[in-house]
């Protein structure tokens, strides 16, 4: 559908790609022009997604702005884009975080600038495409498009063991996505189409046994991406080696592609299998929560600690999705956004001191609060957001997930809630070791506080952290209808008249 005379979803999907083309035309020596152009395009992209928000109708649970063109006629794949509240929120998160990540790269990236920004923009097109594609082949293509630039961002601009990490990331997720592709093909066999909307309309056309197989194939693709225990070990390596902006987008957006996949495809397209496997999924989610938090406690590298905390937090998201109640599912979707904001911000936080000291080891810091008061405040807010302090965003999602889980199982709720206690443990311990105490390393004596540009990158995240914590209603209103719609498909019993 057109907005202002343009097919709006195609526009937001390929605007970054257009930016990429512009950057390719610029000579590599003109670094300032490259930086300006990259920031301009990610900024424009963010504005374009805000336009989507302005034209979005939250009253409808269906797909909006749908664009449908024939694509690969031989196999019946279409160019099919559409957006509901869930996609909208994730697209907004993507465009915001990409903008922030690009901004934060201004002074941080010094080598091969042109290629760096080209990959960032390509990555953005891929990520947005993933959240908008409603044809499963198109979805798969965008899914793989994301893989490539991230591989290079880690492998070229990463740390010492960047190639090990990049290859591990690439192979691991490629393995998952090939399984997913097979799943897509099997699903097509049942539905004779790749069109998500048609599959939804067809309802229960897939036999339950077949659903189970497809669910497992999808599971490999999505669970690796989330990542769920025990498929998570690529994440800490990738995070540790990735440049700051790469970590921000990896944690902030790429992980959500996994949980989004479960929500968009596994739950509504394979409802019988989803219900059958839900207890197993919940157990994996609970293990992820507790295990991620425990491993997190033991880390000596700040980025690794935050990476493992992501495993724990994404466990909360998966729990929320698979208890199959509307309250928990809405909490899970909000928590995807919350995790993107707070963990993305925490990687920026690490990036700030890494740039100054070229180390991420916790032991190399200590006492920074007295040298960098503004930084200390930003770090604190983000740490508290991450551990779900009421009044900040993280709490709302966790609280909704816990409240939505309790009626299904008090035991699951109790296990998940231990993650909240452990979360306070690893996060405050990290904060204490980095920020409090005396300054022991002479190199930290002269650390400069946040620059204006660094603070500017944090500012929108700070605003959202408070906004969602205090007044989440606008965000929850956007996702309300589409999430209810999916839960209604997968767990109709929940809505039946009182027993």
Partner 1 sequence: MFALIPLFPLAGAAVNGLLGARFLSRRAVGATAVGAVGLSFAAAAASFAGLLRAAEPAAVRTLFTWVPASLVRTASGALAEVRFDMAFRYDPLAAVMTLVVTGVGLLIHVYSLGYMAQDKSYARFFAYMNLFTFAMLVLVLGANLGVMFVGWEGVGLCSYLLIGFWFRKDAAADAGKKAFITNRVGDFGFLLGTGLLVYALGTADIAGISAAVEGGLLPKGAATAAALLLFLGATGKSAQIPLYTWLPDAMEGPTPVSALIHAATMVTAGVYMVARLHVLFTFSGAALTVVALTGAVTAVYAASMGLVQNDIKRVLAYSTISQIGYMFIGLGAGAYAAGIFHLMTHAFFKGLLFLAAGSVIHALAGEQDMRRMGGLRTRVPRTYRVFLVGALAISGVPGLSGFFSKDEILAAAFASGNTLAWALGLLGAAMTAFYMFRLIFLVFFGQERFSAETARHVHESPRVMLVPLEVLAVLAVAGGYVGLPRVLGGGAWFGRFLAPSTGAHGPHLAAGTELLLMAASVAAALAAIFAAHAVYVRGRGEPARRFAGKHGTLYRVVSGKYFVDEFYGRVFVGGVLRLGRLAAWFDRRVIDGLVDGAAALARAASRLAIGFDESAVDGAVNGVGRAHLAASSGLRRLQTGRIYNYALAVVLGVVLVITVAVAVF
Which residues, 16 to 55, sit near partner 1 by CB under 8 A? none
Contact call for residue 363 and partner 1 (CB under 8 A)? no
Contact call for residue 3 and partner 1 (CB under 8 A)? no
Q: Hunting for tokens 């996702």 — which residue is that?
A: 479
- The interface region with partner 1, picked from 91-99, 149-157, 258-266, 268-276 by CB under 8 A, is 149-157
**Residues 101, 347 contacting (CB under 8 angstroms):** no
Sites for partner 1 among residues 51-90 (CB under 8 A): 72, 74-75, 77
Beta-carbon contacts of residue 162 (< 8 Å; ≥ 6 apart): 154, 155, 156, 241, 242
State which residue, 352 or 401, has the beta carbon closest to partner 1. 401
Contact call for residue 168 and partner 1 (CB under 8 A)? yes
Which of helix, strand or coil describes residue 54?
helix
Task: Give the shortest CB-438-to-partner 1 separation in angstroms.
Answer: 5
Q: Cα dist. 132→26, 61, 468 in Å?
A: 30, 15, 24
Q: Cα dist. 436→50, 360, 367 in Å?
A: 39, 16, 4
Sites for partner 1 among residues 88-147 (CB under 8 A): 112, 115, 119, 137, 140-141, 144-145
Cα separation, 316 vs 472, whole angstroms:
18
State which residue, 137 or 341, has the beta carbon closest to partner 1. 137
Task: Give the shortest CB-453-to-partner 1 separation in angstroms.
Answer: 19
Task: Give the shortest CB-167-to-partner 1 separation in angstroms.
Answer: 6
Contact call for residue 228 and partner 1 (CB under 8 A)? no
396-435 mask for partner 1 (x: CB under 8 A)?
Answer: x--xx-xxxxxx--x--xx--xx-xxx-xx--xx--x--x
Count the residues in the chain. 499
> Both tokens of residue 150?
């991230």
Task: Give the shortest CB-406-to-partner 1 separation in angstroms.
Answer: 4
From candidates 225, 275, 330, 485, binder to partner 1 by CB under 8 A = 330
Contact call for residue 348 and partner 1 (CB under 8 A)? no
What is the Rg, in whole angstroms, of the alpha carbon atoms belonging to the chain? 22
From candidates 107, 230, 448, 451, binder to partner 1 by CB under 8 A = 230
Which of helix, strand or coil describes residue 287?
helix
Contact call for residue 462 and partner 1 (CB under 8 A)? no
From candidates 221, 344, 367, 482, binder to partner 1 by CB under 8 A = 367
From candidates 312, 325, 342, 444, binder to partner 1 by CB under 8 A = 325
Beta-carbon contacts of residue 446 (< 8 Å; ≥ 6 apart): 371
Q: Closest by alpha carbon to 56, among 98, 89, 80, 14?
A: 89
**Maximum distance among all alpha carbons in the chain?**
71
Number of residues located near partner 1, criterion CB under 8 A: 93
Task: Give the shortest CB-5-to-partner 1 separation in angstroms.
Answer: 31
* 180-214 burial code (b ≥16 CB/10 A, e <16): bbbbbbbbbebbebbbbbbbbeeeeebeeebbbbb
- The interface region with partner 1, picked from 32-40, 53-61, 290-298, 444-452 by CB under 8 A, is 290-298
State which residue, 356 or 371, has the beta carbon closest to partner 1. 371
From candidates 43, 437, 455, 467, binder to partner 1 by CB under 8 A = 437
From candidates 33, 53, 294, 489, binder to partner 1 by CB under 8 A = 294
State which residue, 77 or 91, has the beta carbon closest to partner 1. 77
- The interface region with partner 1, picked from 255-263, 271-279, 340-348, 470-478 by CB under 8 A, is 470-478
Cα separation, 33 vs 113, whole angstroms:
11
Contact call for residue 384 and partner 1 (CB under 8 A)? yes
**Residues 120, 149 contacting (CB under 8 angstroms):** yes
* DSSP-derived secondary structure letter, 70: E
Task: Give the shortest CB-72-to-partner 1 separation in angstroms.
Answer: 8
State which residue, 107 or 230, has the beta carbon closest to partner 1. 230
**Residues 340, 93 contacting (CB under 8 angstroms):** yes
Task: Give the shortest CB-396-to-partner 1 separation in angstroms.
Answer: 6
Cα separation, 172 vs 10, whole angstroms:
30
**Residues 341, 428 contacting (CB under 8 angstroms):** no
* Planar angle of CA 233, 432, 376, nearest 5 degrees: 100
State which residue, 48 or 120, has the beta carbon closest to partner 1. 120
Task: Give the shortest CB-339-to-partner 1 separation in angstroms.
Answer: 18
Cα separation, 320 vs 329, whole angstroms:
5
Contact call for residue 492 and partner 1 (CB under 8 A)? no
From candidates 70, 448, 477, 492, binder to partner 1 by CB under 8 A = 477
Beta-carbon contacts of residue 221 (< 8 Å; ≥ 6 apart): 143, 176, 177, 179, 180, 181, 183, 258, 261
From candidates 60, 192, 203, 471, binder to partner 1 by CB under 8 A = 471
> Residue 68 — φ and ψ, nearest 5°?
-135, 120
Q: Hunting for tokens 């770090």 — which residue is that?
A: 379
Cα separation, 86 vs 487, whole angstroms:
13
Which of helix, strand or coil describes residue 361?
strand
From candidates 6, 208, 473, 492, binder to partner 1 by CB under 8 A = 473
Task: Give the shortest CB-310-to-partner 1 separation in angstroms.
Answer: 14
State which residue, 358 or 494, has the beta carbon closest to partner 1. 494
Cα separation, 362 vs 432, whole angstroms:
10
Contact call for residue 5 and partner 1 (CB under 8 A)? no
Task: Give the shortest CB-461-to-partner 1 separation in angstroms.
Answer: 17
């Amino acid at each position: 559908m057109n907005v202002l005379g343009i097919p709006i979803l195609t526009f937001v999907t390929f605007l970054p790609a257009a930016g990429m083309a512009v950057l390719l035309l610029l000579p590599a020596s003109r670094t300032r022009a490259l930086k300006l152009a990259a920031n301009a395009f990610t900024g424009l992209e963010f504005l374009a997604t805000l336009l989507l928000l302005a034209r979005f109708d939250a009253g409808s649970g269906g797909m909006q702005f749908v664009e449908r063109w024939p694509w690969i006629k031989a196999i019946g794949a279409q160019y099919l884009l559409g957006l509901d509240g869930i996609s909208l929120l994730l697209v907004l998160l993507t465009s915001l975080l990409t903008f922030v990540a690009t901004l934060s790269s201004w002074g941080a990236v010094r080598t091969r600038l042109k290629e760096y920004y080209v990959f960032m923009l390509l990555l953005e097109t891929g990520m947005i495409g993933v959240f908008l594609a409603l044809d499963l082949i198109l979805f798969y293509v965008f899914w793989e498009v994301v893989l490539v630039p991230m591989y290079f961002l880690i492998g070229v601009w990463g740390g010492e063991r960047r190639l090990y990490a990049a290859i591990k990331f690439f192979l691991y997720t490629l393995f998952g996505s090939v399984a997913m592709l097979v799943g897509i093909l099997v699903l097509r066999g049942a539905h004779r189409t790749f069109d998500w909307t048609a599959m939804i309309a067809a309802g229960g056309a897939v036999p339950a046994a077949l659903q189970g197989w497809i669910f497992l194939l999808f599971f490999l693709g999505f669970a690796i991406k989330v990542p769920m225990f025990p498929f998570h070990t690529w994440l800490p390596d990738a995070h540790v080696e990735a440049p700051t902006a790469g970590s921000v987008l990896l944690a902030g957006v790429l992980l959500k592609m996994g949980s989004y996949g479960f929500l968009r495809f596994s739950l509504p397209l394979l409802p019988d299998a989803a219900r059958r496997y839900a207890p197993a999924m919940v157990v994996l989610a609970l293990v992820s929560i507790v295990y991620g938090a425990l491993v997190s406690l033991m880390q000596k590298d700040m980025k690794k600690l935050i990476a493992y905390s992501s495993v724990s937090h994404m466990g909360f998201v998966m729990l929320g999705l698979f208890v199959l109640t509307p309250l928990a599912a809405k909490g899970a979707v909000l928590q995807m956004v919350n995790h993107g904001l707070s963990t993305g911000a925490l990687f920026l936080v690490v990036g700030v001191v890494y740039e100054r000291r070229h180390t991420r080891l916790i032991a190399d810091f200590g006492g920074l609060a007295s040298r960098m008061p503004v930084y200390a405040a930003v770090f604190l807010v983000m740490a508290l957001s991450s551990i779900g302090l009421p009044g900040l965003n993280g709490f709302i999602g966790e609280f909704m997930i816990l409240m939505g889980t309790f009626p299904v199982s008090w035991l699951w709720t109790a296990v998940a809630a231990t993650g909240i206690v452990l979360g306070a443990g690893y996060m405050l311990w990290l904060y204490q070791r980095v920020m409090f105490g005396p300054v022991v390393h002479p190199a930290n004596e002269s650390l400069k506080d946040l620059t204006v540009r660094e603070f500017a990158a944090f500012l929108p995240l700070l605003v959202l952290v408070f906004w969602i914590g205090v007044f989440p209603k606008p965000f929850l209103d956007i996702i309300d209808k589409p999430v209810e719609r999916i839960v209604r498909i997968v767990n109709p019993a929940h809505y039946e008249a009182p027993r």
